[in-house]
Amino acid sequence: MAQTHEDDLFRGSSMTFGEHLEELRKRLFRAAMWLALGVIVGLAFGQKVVNWIQTPLTQALKDYYRDIRLAQLRAEFDGTVPSDQDELLKGGYLSEPFYVEPSRVIGAVADAYPDQPKLSGLSTLRLSKADLPDAKQLAAALVAAAADTKPSPAQHIWKQLSPAEQAAAAAVSNAETPKPADVDRLAVALDRLLGRPDFYDQAAVAGVSLSEDGSKALAEPEKLSIDELHRRNWQALCFVWPDLIAKPHTDLVSITVWHKAADDQHVKLIATGTTDPFVIYVKVSLLVGFILVSPMIFRELWLFVAAGLYPHERRYVYTFLPFSIGLFLAGAMMAFFVAFPPVLKFLLSFNEFLGIAPEPRISEWLTFVLFLPLAFGIGFQLPLVMLFVHRLGLVSVHTYLVQWRVAVLVILVTATLLCPSPDLYSMLLMAGPMVVLYFGGIALCHYSAKRRPQALGGE
C-alpha cells in the first residue's frame, strides 16, 4: 500500500516541542534585530515621513474648507460663484470674510501716506434715517429750542444748522407724515455737525450729564482723530435726546482676505501634549523601520513556519514569502491612497452637519494612519492563510466554496475589528477587497491541489 504524506506527518523532522520554541525564539530575535536596524535608519527620515503622512488629512481639510466657502459664495451670489473667486479656490487658496472699521483703515492709510490729502478727514460714521427713531419728535424739539429764551444744548444745535437745514427740520416737525427726503436732509444736517470740533463747548453743555469719555471729548477735541471725534460728538448728541437719537455705533464693512491653503491654521494638525511631537517622531521612525526591513521580518517568520513543514514543502516558503510581502504592501498602499480620502470626507461631513469645526490632533491621526494600513496589510494575507490551512488538510476547496456566505460574514466582522475607526466606509473598503481575495484564495487552493503530488509511491 502506498504511503501518503498524511501517514508520514513528522517524517524528516526530529524537532521536539522545546526545539520548536527555541526556533521561534531565534527567529523572533533576528526579526527584532532587523527591526532595530530599520528604526535606526528610520530616525533619519522621521521628519519627512511625519510631513508626508499628514498629506491625506491636510488635503481633506483643504477640500472641507473650500467646499464650505463655495457654499457660502453660492448663497451670496444666488447659486453662482464668481469666476475669479472660483479660480482662486481651485488654485489652492482659501478665503475668509472679515469685518473692519473703514474709518480706522482709512486713518491708518492716511497716517502712512500723509502726502495724500484726499485720505484725510474721511469717516464712515454717518447718521441716517435708521438712527432717528422718531424724526418728527426730534425736529419738534429743535424747533421748540429755537423759540426758547433760555440757552440749552438743543438751542446750540439749532443755531449751528444752516437756514435750509432749519427749514427741513421745520418741515419734518409740521408734517403729519414726514417726507423721507426731509428726514434724510435732517439726518445729513446732524451728521455734518458730528465732524466739527466746536460742535459743543463747555458753556453750551453746562448742566448736561456726560460720561467721562464724553467730557474728555469736549475738553480736548483737537487731539482726537476724525473718527473718534464723530463718535464722541454722536455720544454727546445722544445725551441731549437719548430717546430720539440711536446710540453711537461703528459701521463695519465686510472684506474678503485670501491666503494659501497650506498656510491656513485650520488645516494644520495640533499637538495638545508636551511629549506628543517626540512620541510621534519615535512612532513614525518605528513605522519606517518596519517597512524598510519587512521583507527580512517576513522571511524570519516564514522560516519558522518552514521548520514544521515536510522537507519537500519547505520550498513553498520561498514562494509564499514574496506573495506575503506583496499582499501586505498592497493592502497598506490601498489604505493610504484609496481608503483615506473617502473615509476622511465621510467623517468630516459630520463636522459640517453638526456645525463643529474640526481640529484634528496629530496623535489621534497618527494612530489612525498607522493602524489602518496595518489592518489592511494583515487582512490582505487572507489568500495565503487559506492556502496554508488547505495544505495542512484542515479545510478543502469544496468547504471554502460551500461556506462562502459564512466566510463573507466573518470577513465583515474581522474588518470591523481591525479598522481603528468604527465607520462604515473604512469597514467596507477593507471588506470588499478581502471578499475578492477570498475567492482568489479558493482559486489558488484549487490550482495548488492539482499540482500537489498525491503520494510518495503512487496510488
Task: List Cβ neighbours of 355 (8 Å cut-off, separation of 6 or more).
Answer: none
Say what the pLDDT of residue 390 is.
82
Say what the pLDDT of residue 104 is.
67
Domain-located, residue 81: no
Q: Are residues 182 and 279 in the same domain?
A: no
End residue of a domain, out of 223, 251, 279: 251
Question: How many other β-carbons are positioned within 10 Å of the β-carbon of residue 375?
Answer: 22
Q: Which three cell numbers stand for residue 144?
A: 421748540
Query: 489568500: which residue's cell?
Result: 383
Q: Are residues 235 and 364 in the same domain?
A: no
Taking phi over 0 as left and psi of -120 to 50 as alpha, with beta for the rest, 78 belongs to left
Domain-located, residue 79: no
Domain-located, residue 74: no
Q: Are residues 274 and 360 in the same domain?
A: yes
Q: Are residues 285 and 145 in the same domain?
A: no
Give the separation between CA 306 and CA 302, rounded to whole angstroms.
6
Domain-located, residue 88: no
Domain-located, residue 215: yes
End residue of a domain, out of 251, 275, 292: 251
User: Are 270 and 360 a contacting pair, CB within 8 Å?
Assistant: yes
Say what the pLDDT of residue 441 is.
86
Q: Are residues 314 and 407 in the same domain?
A: yes
Q: Which three cell numbers stand for residue 379?
A: 487582512
Tens digit of pLDDT per residue, the chain (459 long)? 444 444 443 444 446 667 777 778 888 888 888 888 888 888 888 888 888 888 888 888 888 888 888 888 888 788 888 888 888 888 888 888 888 777 667 667 766 776 665 555 454 456 666 677 788 888 888 888 888 777 777 787 888 888 888 888 888 888 888 888 888 888 888 888 877 777 765 555 544 444 444 445 454 656 666 667 777 777 777 777 777 777 666 667 778 888 888 888 888 888 877 888 888 888 888 878 887 787 788 777 777 776 666 666 566 666 677 777 788 888 888 888 888 888 888 888 888 888 888 888 888 887 777 777 878 888 888 888 888 788 767 788 888 888 888 888 988 888 887 776 666 777 887 888 888 888 888 888 887 776 655 433 333
Say what the pLDDT of residue 423 is.
67
Say what the pLDDT of residue 8 is.
42
Say what the pLDDT of residue 337 is.
82
Domain count, the chain: 2
Query: 451670496: which residue's cell?
Result: 76
Residues forming a β-bridge with 97: 256
Say what the pLDDT of residue 17 is.
67
Say what the pLDDT of residue 314 is.
63
User: Are 292 and 44 a contacting pair, CB within 8 Å?
Assistant: no
Domain-located, residue 256: no
Say what the pLDDT of residue 205 is.
53
End residue of a domain, out of 251, 285, 306: 251
Q: Are residues 246 and 287 in the same domain?
A: no
Say what the pLDDT of residue 360 is.
85
Residue 62: closest CA among 266, 257, 259, 258: 266
Domain-located, residue 391: yes
Q: Are residues 210 and 344 in the same domain?
A: no
Q: Are residues 232 and 326 in the same domain?
A: no
Say what the pLDDT of residue 1 is.
42
Q: Residue 223 gets which letter from DSSP?
A: G
Q: Which three cell numbers stand for residue 133?
A: 427713531
Q: Which three cell numbers stand for residue 74?
A: 453660492
Say what the pLDDT of residue 107 is.
64
* Strand runs labelled E in 152-283: 253-260
Say what the pLDDT of residue 43 is.
85
Q: Are residues 239 and 276 in the same domain?
A: no
Say what the pLDDT of residue 3 is.
43
Q: Are residues 287 and 390 in the same domain?
A: yes
Q: Residue 385 is part of which domain span?
A: 12-67+266-451
